[in-house]
Amino acid sequence: MSAKIISGVEIAKQIRQELKDEVKELKDKHGVVPGLVTILVGENPASVSYVTAKQRTAHELGFHSIQDDQPEDISEDELLKLIDKYNNDESIHGILVQLPLPKHIDESKVLYAISPDKDVDGFHPVNVGKMVIGEPCFLPCTPHGILEMLIRADVETSGAEVVVVGRSNIVGKPIANLMLQKRPGGNATVTICHTRTRDMAFHTKRADILIVAAGRPKVITADMVKDGVVVIDVGVNRIGKTPEGKAILCGDVDFDAIKEKAAAITPVPGGVGPMTITMLMKNTVQAAKQFAGLV
């Protein structure tokens, strides 16, 4: 059996078309143009490529979008002042500071400085707290994208054994939380594995849905999953370059071997990545509507 490939590209395309229509209506009926600023500190190649993709998508959807590049040696104080400027800019509804930040900057301080109303990444503790208790808020983009993929690919989550590999604040912790909530894409029984988990394969073999955000290439092999599993691979690992200098990417799971056992699997690239960007756009449209008093 070869797995169904859950294409993030295709699902993201559908949602982007829905958003494009919504942006046009907001503009035509209410004179509202969603505004997004992406702040990039330094020149980390992965971050540059993520931020470029976010900006390209914002342009395609008709947003007012600003790419604000700052040097690696910007001080924490200067960065906090910049965030304050955008907090007070009425044309900007969403502020994203690309992570990771250089070591001399306290990441928490920066994330806490973003107004929760403009926190389209869903990283501010106010939004994290609301997410945990199931109140409406900006959901973090990657977990939100995973939920949307599972729902649109008709994967039954209610009662499912979900195993999450990775406990980051950006993916592991929030996706585990969202999948146990009483809502579409939730109602699962959730286990979180991490670097101190004693017997990883014991847990991953039990999974009906396996979500892997370990940050290391091919850590999940075919012998670690059961037949019929649904695999969501969040990893993006740069494992080399083509002769033309293009990055060669692979996920956190051994795609070629696991696709012969799984019922469904997301590819890398073209899986979770496009969904993350799309949910950022969705959150920004939501922020613009809230700012305009339309929701």
180/131 Cα distance (integer angstroms): 12
Q: Which of the residues 55, 98, 173, 218 is marked catalytic? A: 98
Give the one residue of 33, 53, 80, 99 binding ligand GUN; rule: CB under 6 A.
99
223/201 Cα distance (integer angstroms): 8
Residues 247 and 227: beta-carbon distance below 8 Å: no
Question: In sequence order, what are the beta bridge partners of 40?
Answer: 69
Judged by phi (left if over 0) then psi (alpha if -120 to 50, else beta), residue 183 lies in beta
Residue (119 or 208) nearer to ligand GUN, CB: 119
142 binds ligand GUN per the rule CB under 6 A: yes
141 binds ligand GUN per the rule CB under 6 A: yes
Q: Which of the residues 54, 173, 218, 261 is marked catalytic? A: 54
268 binds ligand GUN per the rule CB under 6 A: no
The residue number whose beta carbon is nearest to ligand GUN equals 99
Backbone angles phi, psi at 288, to 5 degrees: -65, -40
Q: Which of the residues 55, 118, 119, 121 is marked catalytic? A: 121
Binding segment (CB under 6 A) for ligand GUN, from list 57-65, 96-104, 112-120, 226-234: 96-104
Give the one residue of 22, 121, 148, 252 binding ligand GUN; rule: CB under 6 A.
121
Residue keyed to tokens 């091919």: 218
Residue (99 or 201) nearer to ligand GUN, CB: 99
> Alpha carbon 61 to chain centroid distance?
18
Radius of gyration, CA atoms only, the chain: 19
278 binds ligand GUN per the rule CB under 6 A: no
- Residue 98 annotated as catalytic: yes
Catalytic residues: 54, 98, 121
